Chains A and B, each alone.
Chain A
Amino acid sequence: METVFISKLKPFLDTVSELMEVYVPSKSEEHYTFTRYDKNSDKPIQLNSIRACTPVKEFLFPMRELAATYPESSPPQDIKPFAVLGLKECDLRSIEILDKVFEEDDFRDPLYINRREKMFIIASDCGEPGETCFCQVFGGKGFAESGFDLNISQIKDGFIIEAGSQKGHEFIKEHNKIFAEAPEALVAERNQNRIDIENKLKQANFQIDRNIGEIVENSEESDVFDVEASNCIECQACTRVCPTCHCFYLYDAKQKDYFVKMKMWDSCLRLGYASVAGGANPHKMLGDRLKHRFLHKFVYFLDRYGIDMCVGCGRCIDADAGGIDLREVLKKLNAEMK
């Protein structure tokens, strides 16, 4: 893997932004969100310590997008190349999960792929784990070893940049002027930081001693979800901010002289989510919908795609207005099994 050094972020970002639009994390109160990079702004660029509060899926699978026009079809939307800086290991895993769904062999979603191919991923190592982070449960280490084009690790006196894809290698090669060779001592510093964050994650307060899929699969008779449902206000925030939740619905609308089919995020917590025209609804009760969400994430998705549909980012915990904490739900289910 190609490893280089930069002392300042700005020349690097300016170079990337000449080629494409760049989204960078910026602090908004205690959270991070992505904003468009402006090279003329003197707002300091800071690599976020933890993942943004918004999910990376927004870049690949926007909340609402045009799926088709008819009677005349229109060419695919012209998506310009874009870069996202500061994606964390958990974000990359969420992309891996979305890829499984939208790039599945027998039907590749052209809208997703259009954006995915244009995305330049500049990941970065985590600093401190956030209060709600629990990626360690899914093997998270706080830094990424694959799934990025470039990865940036902040060290005391600069940044170590690593290429993780052909696109990343080419970028470094073509812009070698802005990069210096990475001194061994600085790479060692980066490696030490990585050991530290991994250790901190290992000590995080949420550990679970049993296979999560097994815990959730065994919840059939449990009333935990019904109890949790009494706190849930059905705001659907957990599914919106979840980087792996990908339910959507299609709706039709009339434009001036043509019709459109739109694709829009949906939430399995919505009452009418699974109901059919005849009135049947397998998830009439909110508790059943919460349970389905867990079963989908930890049992069905794993069964189908070989990976949990949760990355332990904790966004749902931060966002939940009703105070439902996924970690606590799993703990309660685990305790019931004992």
Chain B
Amino acid sequence: MKTIKISESFEMDKNLYQPVNGEIVEIIDESPTIKSFVIVPQEPVKFDTGQFVELTLPGLGEAPFTPSSSPAESKKMEITIMKAGHITGLLHQCSKGQKVGIRGPLGNGYPIDDFVGKDVYIIGGGVGLAPIRSLFLTLIDRIKDFKSVTCRYGAKTPQDYIYKKALFGDWQKITGVNIKLTVDEADGKWKDNVGVVTTILRSDDVDISNAVAVVCGPPVMMKYATLKLLEFEFPEDKIYLSMEKNMSCGIGKCGHCMLGKYYVCKDGPVFTYDQIKQYPKIWD
């Protein structure tokens, strides 16, 4: 797997603890618990899809997020955030004009060039769609390079769907893109599948002999999606997992995000299943 060395993005001995100043210029309500924040950094933050940034609320703290916008746009960045803990709770209380800090980009990204000529099988759940959106935008920019982009996505309820317009409309119309959606619990209007995301995975969704899978979502969903892929005899080194761990420094030093010998923040957050399967508690 290709990894993007931090040194390519940063000069030596630059203080990577130093955030770039930025400002929230727009806030979009995506669902009752999810908002997207459009952030303009004072200097462009150029990232590869799948890399993440540490977003600082001045004086309060920082947390890691993978941008949901296209990496082609470096002057502004969109980050989709679910209210889940302390910093995300504070972010949800912010209004337009809020000053923020950005450290990054950090970690590796998706090895897009290795996906060329293949079926790209994307499986997502919940707010895991945020990094997938960035990946999706990157893929459809050069859609002809891939055999297909096949996406299976699940949310808890129809209200929990984010990027509704794109998911239910725009993206579905793109040639080469195939999207199927599901919810755990439907309401009266829901016409698609009801059930967790693994219930819409089929062994003939893609040509497994020439495909890569990208799995991103809550740990439990990632676990069962991966097991399903293994049941389909998907090669272990073709299953790309975007791992969620406690990432504090973001540069492979502070230890919190260790997954076996790996630092998820630096060696990841994208790993193939093959790389990490030997370690205990990868889904916890």
Contact = CB atoms under 8 A, between A and B. Distances in A.
Contact of A70 (B21, B61, B87): B21
Nearest to A296: B258
B260 to A, nearest CB: 6
B264 to A, nearest CB: 10
Interface string A294-324: 0010011101100000000000000000000
A250 B16 contact: no
Interface stretch (B116-124, B138-146, B182-190, B240-248): B240-248
A68 B17 contact: yes
Contact of A273 (B101, B219, B244, B256): B256
Given A252-B58, A277-B84, A300-B258, A68 B18 contact: yes
A250 B249 contact: yes
B13 A106 contact: no
B17 A263 contact: yes
B223 to A, nearest CB: 11
Interface string B137-157: 000000000000000000000
A71 B6 CA distance: 23
Contact of A250 (B6, B13, B17, B57): B17
B17 A275 contact: no
B15 A68 contact: yes
Main secondary structure of the interface of B (DSSP, over half): loop
A277 B18 CA distance: 23
B281 A282 contact: yes
A264 to B, nearest CB: 10
Contact of B56 (A105, A111, A252, A276): A252
Residue of B10, B14, B101, B266 with most chain A CB atoms under a 10 A cut-off? B101
B4 to A, nearest CB: 10
B17 A246 contact: no
A266 B59 contact: no
Given A252-B59, A280-B244, A247 B256 contact: yes
A277 B260 contact: no
Contacts of A280: 219, 244, 284
B169 interface: no
Q: Number of contact residues on A: which range applies?
A: 35 or more
Given A251-B61, A304-B261, A109 B255 contact: no
A276 B261 contact: no
A254 interface: yes
B19 A70 contact: yes
Contacts, number: 133
Given A250-B248, A276-B246, A109 B61 contact: no
Interface in B38-78: 56-63
Interface string B247-267: 011011111111011000010
B18 A70 contact: yes
B7 interface: yes
Nearest to B21: A71
A280 B222 CA distance: 13
Interface string B264-284: 001000000000000011001
B246 A275 contact: yes
Given A277-B63, A278-B84, A73 B249 contact: no
Given A250-B17, A259-B58, A296 B255 contact: yes
Interface string B103-129: 000000000000000000000000000
Contacts of B251: 107, 109
B7 to A, nearest CB: 5
A171 interface: no
B5 interface: yes
B200 to A, nearest CB: 23
Nearest to B14: A110
Given A71-B99, A304-B261, A252 B252 contact: no
A249 B59 contact: no
Contacts of B58: 70-71, 252, 254, 259
A336 interface: no
Contacts of A273: 246, 256
A113 interface: yes
A118 interface: no
A15 interface: no
A252 B10 CA distance: 23
A104 interface: yes
B19 A261 contact: yes
B21 A247 contact: no
A282 B248 CA distance: 16
Nearest to A273: B256
A95 to B, nearest CB: 16
Contact of B57 (A110, A252, A283): A252
A28 B17 CA distance: 37
B275 to A, nearest CB: 13
B88 interface: yes
Contact of B256 (A67, A113, A249, A252): A249
B218 interface: yes
Interface of B: 5-7, 10, 12-19, 21, 56-63, 84-88, 99, 101, 218-219, 244-246, 248-249, 251-258, 260-261, 266, 280-281, 284
21 contacts: A68-B18, A71-B58, A73-B15, A76-B15, A104-B252, A106-B6, A106-B266, A107-B10, A107-B251, A107-B266, A108-B13, A246-B253, A249-B256, A250-B62, A259-B59, A274-B245, A274-B246, A274-B256, A276-B244, A278-B218, A284-B284
Given A109-B251, A250-B17, A252-B61, 7 more contacts: A102-B253, A106-B6, A109-B253, A274-B256, A276-B85, A277-B63, A296-B255
